[in-house]
Structures are given as structure tokens and as C-alpha cells.
Amino acid sequence: MRYSVVMVAALGVASGAGGVVLGAPAHAGAFTWDPSQAMPALTGGSAAFTADEVQLQNNIRAVHTNNFTTMRQDFVVNQLQPVTGFALAGTPVAVAGFNSDFGLYVHYTPVGWYPINASGVRIGPATYTQLEMELVADVGHDNGSVSVTAAAIGFSNPAGVANDVTLATGHLISAKLDFDAMGGIHPHYRTSFAPAPGEEDFFVAPGGGLTWDELITTLPAAFSVIIVDAVTLINLADGSKGAFAVAEVVPEPASLGVLAAGLLGLGFARGRRQPTDSSGPRSELG
């Protein structure tokens, strides 16, 4: 039986490709996933686990091209984020078979532009026009490591990628890109989040109406810039040098409203219930 857990994120959301208030995810609730219920089942003794944070390694290849007709610098990004772990209330969560018998990773494909001046210098914030995401299972944990070069980004073992399975997908809700004084880059992404067909049982809770909320920190040491020609440059971020991300799965406001009404009804029913033998089975929503 599916159930939902109340989660509230203290985040401001803007429309389309606008900004989001940059800050750490609120971690106000939890989600439960069950790798054994994936199709195909993810092996290694895995069972349902509960967490409120997904920890990821961030790897980026971004091609930027100046267009002096539109006075924009267009960018197309390919972003791979192997999941490195999970946490609940700041404590690591052990998942049997994870990163030994199977792996998980997020694949992003952001597209957008910056305004530029006649010299090709950026003069405004990024606007995102596309940001597709996939949560993917590395079946057999045989993809190898991520390789990021000027030519391409991908896993070191393409044969391992061939049997990967998409567990969930999402689309752009909002995105913001900030830089700090030390040259670090801090994107904050929000996308929708829906189970792929046949993978619904992997996601035990919360169910329905979800967003994927992610904050990325890419340290200056992780970045390199390659000048291709007078109008094109490539940005590369190597996750092994200090690029990381954290994410949480958050119910949409409409889902929270429905759930709140259900919990009120549950409380009323409990208030009327007669005392029973406490040794019987119990189930509570966390």
C-alpha cells in the first residue's frame, strides 16, 4: 500500500526559467525507495530504505557559443551525477548492494543562454529554456567511472551503460545559476519527478506530484575552460576534484494539501477510537 510523507521545502519558486532562492534543501521530510521493486530488480540484498538527502558527484560538459546576432551566449550542457550516498537527518543511510551490485545516477541536459555585450562578455544571469532529468539505475554496477573531456562526457565502460534502466524523469520547473567570489559555481535546479513506466513500485513514498530539488556546488579546482574558436568555449567540471550536489524529493503543494486533509481525518478517527491491546501491529506515518 502506498503512502505519503509530509515534506515542506523552504524554497521560493519562480516561473519558467526564472530564479529560485538559493539555499540548502530544507530536508523537512523523507522519502522511501525500494531497489528490489525496480524492473529489473536491483540485486545485492537491497530492501526498502528511507532518506531525506541524495548525495551526488557532479560532472559537467558545457558548450557555450556566442551569437552576435541575438547578443546571446547559448549553452548546451551534458551533466552526469553518480549517486554517492544517502542520508537521513544528517546520518548516512546504508543501502545493501548499492555501488557494488548496482548503482544510481542522475543525467541532466540543460539548455539556455546568457545576454552578452559586443565583446562577448556575459552581462546578465542565465536563462534556462530546457532542463530534462533522468534518475537511472546502473544495473550490475558496470558503467565504470565518469570521463569528462572536451570531446565528450560519459562512462568509461559504454557496454555497461547499454543495460541501464531509467527509473524516473523530470522537466524544468525553475533554475538559477550563481557564482561565488572564489569562482565556484552554484546551480539550483527544480524539475518535476515522475516514475518511468513500470518503475512505480521502486518509489514507495511519497507518491505522486513530486519535484526533484537539487543544489550543486562546483569548486574552482573542478573547472577548466577550453577556448575552441572566436565564439565557442567549453566548460568542464570533473566531479573527482570537488564538485558535488545534494537533492531531495519534494511533494508539490497540491499533493501536500490533499495529504494534510487526510492526516486531519486520521487524527479525528484516532481521537474516537477505543483503547486496544498495544501488542497488536501498528503503522504510523513518519
Residue 7 lies in a domain: no
Looking at residue 32, what is its pLDDT? 95
* Residue 59 confidence (pLDDT): 97
pTM, two decimals, is 0.80
- Domain tally, the chain: 1
Task: Determine, yes or no, domain membership for 253.
Answer: yes
The answer to whether residue 15 is domain-embedded is no
pLDDT in the model for residue 43: 86
Q: Would you say residue 1 lies in a domain?
A: no
- Rounded CA-CA distance 84/96 in Å is 13
Q: For residue 15, what pLDDT is reported? A: 29
Contact yes or no for 215/248 (Cβ under 8 A): no
Residue 21 belongs to some domain of the structure: no
Cα–Cα dist 31/135, whole Å: 15
pLDDT score at 28: 57
| C-beta of residue 244 within 8 angstroms of C-beta of residue 57 | yes
Residues 6+ apart with CB under 8 A from 11: 20, 21, 23, 25, 26, 190, 213
Domain that holds residue 38: 31-271
The answer to the question of residue 20 being in a domain is no
Residues 114, 127: Cα–Cα separation, whole Å:
6
In a domain, 24, yes or no: no
Q: Which parts of the chain have pLDDT scores under 70? A: 1-28, 252-286
For residue 65, give the DSSP letter.
E
Q: Is residue 26 assigned to a domain?
A: no
Asked if 57 and 63 touch (Cβ cutoff 8 Å), the reply is no
